[in-house]
Chain A
Amino acid sequence: MTNRKSENMQANGKSERFIVPIGPQHPALKEPEHFRFTVEGEIVTNAYVRLGYAHRGIEKATEQRNWVQTNYLLERICGICSHIHSTAYCLGVEKLAGVQVPPRALAIRTLVAELERIHSHMLWLGVAAHEAGFDTLFMYSWRDRETVMDILEQLTGNRVNYSANLLGGVKYDIDQEIADSILEGIDFLEERTRHYLEIVTTDALFLQRTRGVGVMTKTQAEVMRAVGPTARASGVTRDIRVEAPYAAYPQFPARITLATNGDVEARFVVRIEELFESHRLIREILANLPESDLRARFPRRIKPGETIIRVEAPRGELFYFIKSNGSDKPERVKVRTPTICNMSSVVKLAVGHQLADIPLILAGIDPCFSCNDRGVIITRRQNKPDLWTWEQLRQYGIGYYDGNNK
């Protein structure tokens, strides 16, 4: 038996390396992804990540749908930040078509985006607490998250895929009754959020797990091109809402939240303080909601052209490239989600930490694997063809998996 065991370990490398595989099925990950951590005792000495288990071919699928249908497909890229994907796409297509969106529609879009940020960050708070083994915080933050879910359901009729956006406007208006219930919910959430901020910054046992763990310096964050709250926790001033205001952010400017420590605790603090900022923005938008129509007329065909659009998703910068060839279908939609920018930081930061810190470091970037999975081919030599046929792709895939199994 001992023999077999050492053989099994040697199969993975020259020396006796002990590799802990995490994923594609693992309780720490709610989505399929594969990580390999080489450990010595409890210390991680090497890390490796393999992406692509949940690649769904959405970018390709947009080419077979018309502009209207694509909106709903893209909304389903991510289950948590669905509205921001749809908003990014709508803003891009409206820019391409030269349609002026009514200001009230933009304000409502921004409002839903901020509500969505609250729901995403509270979800993350629970998940991260669970990864640290603090299940009570997990249960309570998810209980309070139901408040914002109820608000969203009341406003749009659905809890997750709101489909509040139409090309050229929004579907749902905000009347006084809904505005009142939003304000009431926000008051409750603000009080609870203050309590959670106190917990994550003072609880002695929890701080032992988060303070000084997974420290990413400002330089590292800049070199690894981290985005969103992960970068802001390291002191990098990067927030698209502030840098390049979109939708209604020019009228309702957002303030950036920063922390300097760059550890997991700082990521908790940044995300929780962003909640306060969201509460403030929601109150401001509700108080100064512009009066106008909700929808502008939108053409079925869009003149040829291309555009890029950047928005701040709850997890960081979300980037869309949209190209039209004059028909009623997009020629190319390219999406870059925030998780893929932050993924390299996990692999880098894991080295030197204990195995027990890995789930927290991983959760610290708020990963969304199904958003981030894609097929990328980097051609270093120029003699390879840029266009692959289906058969070539098939052969490549078979070879890839065979090579991995050996």
Chain B
Amino acid sequence: MKFGTMISDITASLFKRPVTEKYPLVRYPVPERLRGHLRWDPEKCTGCGLCAMDCPANAIEMIVIDKKAKRFVMRYHVDRCTFCAQCVFSCRQGCLEMSNDTWELAALNKEPFNVFFGEKDDIECILAGSTAQDT
């Protein structure tokens, strides 16, 4: 039976800097394996759609414009993504990866949460189609 068993800790702390991380003011290095924003390499993609099928949050949509010409657009809903990296491991071609530098994804509007991957004119084609449908 002792009183004040934590006295060694509190006296040591008196001469130490607080361990609290001052995150927005000070940036700390992120671990190498951190799972952030998804990246897609269109070169290798065959449009098999396994990533979309296995995504637990339905964050990936594979939009096929022309299967023979290999014209695909991948629509990535960042706001739905749970960053589990299942798509990265489902992909047999290895064309998906999760970046470890883009992870501060908060935004005030919805636009950044809706990302299209693919050729520029393919995306424009999709966007034109969706606006035509909307109007």
Chain A residues near B (Cβ < 8 Å):
65-66, 68-73, 75, 136-137, 140, 143, 146, 153-158, 161, 163, 166, 171-172, 195, 198-199, 202-207, 295
Contacts and interface: CB of A to CB of B under 8 A. Distances in A.
B5 A203 contact: yes
Contact of A157 (B1, B4, B31, B54): B31
B20 to A, nearest CB: 9
A158 B56 contact: no
Contacts of A75: 84
Interface in B33-87: 33-35, 53-57, 82-86
B83 to A, nearest CB: 7
Nearest to B88: A171
B56 A65 contact: yes
Given A68-B54, A68-B56, A203-B4, 20 more contacts: A65-B56, A68-B90, A69-B55, A71-B56, A72-B56, A73-B56, A140-B6, A143-B19, A153-B34, A156-B33, A158-B35, A158-B83, A161-B84, A163-B86, A195-B9, A198-B5, A199-B5, A203-B5, A204-B2, A295-B89
A136 B6 CA distance: 8
Contacts, number: 75
B3 interface: yes
B85 to A, nearest CB: 6
Contacts of B35: 157-158
A166 B82 CA distance: 15
A69 B56 contact: yes
Contacts of A69: 54-56, 86
A179 to B, nearest CB: 14
Contacts of B90: 68
Interface residues of B, number: 28
24 contacts: A68-B54, A68-B90, A69-B55, A69-B56, A71-B56, A72-B56, A72-B57, A73-B56, A136-B6, A137-B6, A154-B33, A155-B33, A157-B31, A157-B34, A158-B34, A158-B35, A158-B83, A161-B84, A163-B85, A163-B86, A172-B33, A202-B5, A204-B3, A295-B89
